[in-house]
Amino acid sequence: MRPLAHSYCLCSNLTFLYKTLAFAPGIPIRHRNSSLAKVLDNVGMATQGSRSQIELVVDTTTTTTTSTVSNSFSNYQHSTSFTTLLISVLTKLHAGYFRISLSLGSQALLWKTIITSEQDTTTLPHVLSTLPSAAVYALWSLSLFTLVLLSLLYLLRCFFFFKMVKAEFLHPVGVNYLFAPWISWLLLLESAPFLAPKTALYFVLWWVFAVPMMVLDVKIYGQWLTKGKRVLSSAAGNPTSQLSVIGNLVGAQAAAHMGWKECALWLFSVGMVHYVVLLVTLYQRLSGRDGVPVLLRPVLFLFIAAPSVASLAWESIVGTFDTASKMLFFLSLFLFLSLICRPRLFRRSMKRFNVAWWAYSFPITALALVSTDYAEEVKGTFSHILMLLLLALSVLVSLALTMFTLLNSNMLLPDTYI
């Protein structure tokens, strides 16, 4: 501190002498400059030892302050960028993104069914049953991670942007996608490789995932029943309305696995009665009216999903793949052939990637699931070839959608509702 104080005193004296000589009247400019030069020479020697200490103190303080300010500003920028990104995601994310978890969950159930199936060793599908169980665990874990991530983001959307969620709930099409998260959870529950159906945890989780769907059933089906033909035509005239039926059927299948046959039959009855209403309403749309926008035309594949899941649910209830299950399988197979024979219908929707593409995967996977049961029941080369073709198509579609999603992640959250 002493050298610093000494230097401060010298600097003060130097300033006083400079002002005195510079503004003293009657002294020529030449004498002023020479006097100032002498003073500076004398002071320079005296302050030489302390100057480095002064500069060291000043530089250290300045560097520390600058570093602190820079770190604070950098942290502020990072936090602001993260907040902006999170807000952007929450405002654009809607229940339709659960198509992804729906597809992955059905794939996990498909491969669990294949590995645990009791196929004859002389048949072609026996090769598939030799796949390692680690692959099923990996696929199920990926499905669980995706569903948990989407669920957490949607919970944040409910908390911070409740008005947007309310708008989805009141929208005649958007409300149908609110069934997708609960269907995804039920599919993961059925495909869990470590949880037996008749355990207490399975019972509890079934109630947690099934009750919200029952509440949505009361809301949607009550509106159809009480608000007249106009509401029914606008709400049920869109293929996405079949998600409510699929939710009941998946819940019935899970209940049948637990041994709750009466509960399963009740859910199956509610779903199938309203499926008949939906099918008739969708067939009776005006011929000149295109009820499905171009970008949403992949949801037409939900026509395949409902009878396929119904066939699986009925088999779980009665215990065998009987005539009714076969009829529903043949219906879904016919609808599948009807759609794939019209590629021009989907050409415009495939020009640019969007999340609606994931609507292809779940219905095809559900059809492949039914084909495995059909191949077990009907022994023959044709049934097994049909199963292998549907399995290959299901896997290829899921892999292609995953790759397209990873390569076009910047287009996954567009500004428009899809």
What CATH number does the domain containing 160 carry?
A: 1.50.10.150
Q: Which residue has the tokens 């069914």?
A: 113
Contact 242, 278 (CB under 8 A): yes
Q: What is the pLDDT of residue 350?
A: 80
Q: What is the pLDDT of residue 290?
A: 53
Contact 300, 292 (CB under 8 A): yes
Extract the runs of DSSP E, i.e. beta strands, from 48-173: none
3-state DSSP call for residue 76? Answer: helix
Contact 387, 372 (CB under 8 A): yes
Residue 65 inside a domain? The answer is: no
Extract the runs of DSSP E, i.e. beta strands, from 302-351: none
CA pair distance 159, 36, nearest whole angstrom: 73
- Give 86-134 as a DSSP string: HHHHHHH--GGGHHHHHHHHHHHHHHHHHHH----TTSGGGGGGGS-HH
292 residue type, one letter: V
CA pair distance 187, 210, nearest whole angstrom: 12
* Residue 165 C-beta-side C-alpha neighbours within 13 Å: 12
Q: pTM to 2 decimals?
A: 0.77
> With the C-alpha atoms ordered 151, 155, 157, 163, is the resulting torsion angle positive or negative?
positive
CA pair distance 113, 136, nearest whole angstrom: 10
- The tens-digit pLDDT sequence of the chain (418 residues) is 444 444 444 444 545 444 454 444 444 444 444 554 554 455 444 444 444 443 434 444 444 555 554 555 555 556 677 788 778 888 888 888 999 999 999 999 998 888 876 555 444 455 555 556 777 888 999 999 999 999 999 999 999 989 999 998 888 788 889 999 999 999 999 998 888 888 889 999 999 999 999 999 888 888 777 776 666 666 666 788 889 999 999 999 999 999 899 999 999 999 999 898 888 877 766 444 456 777 788 888 998 999 999 999 999 999 899 999 999 999 999 999 999 988 888 888 788 888 889 999 999 999 999 999 998 888 888 888 999 999 999 999 999 999 998 888 776 766 555 5
3-state DSSP call for residue 262? Answer: helix
CA pair distance 79, 72, nearest whole angstrom: 11
> With the C-alpha atoms ordered 65, 68, 74, 80, is the resulting torsion angle positive or negative?
negative
Nearest to 278 by CA among 261, 297, 291: 291
Q: Which residue has the tokens 């942290």?
A: 75
Residue 360 CB neighbour total at 10 angstroms: 25
CA pair distance 62, 118, nearest whole angstrom: 76
Query: Structure tokens of 134?
Result: 């680690």
Distances 403 to 51, 142, 361, 399, 408 between C-alpha atoms, Å: 65, 15, 13, 6, 8
CA pair distance 220, 215, nearest whole angstrom: 9
Query: Structure tokens of 208?
Result: 């947690």
Number of domains, the chain: 1
Q: What is the pLDDT of residue 86?
A: 79
Domain span at 268: 86-411
Nearest to 172 by CA among 241, 84, 242: 241
Q: What is the pLDDT of residue 383?
A: 87
Contact 202, 195 (CB under 8 A): yes
CA pair distance 411, 162, nearest whole angstrom: 24
Residue 360 inside a domain? The answer is: yes
CA pair distance 402, 418, nearest whole angstrom: 18
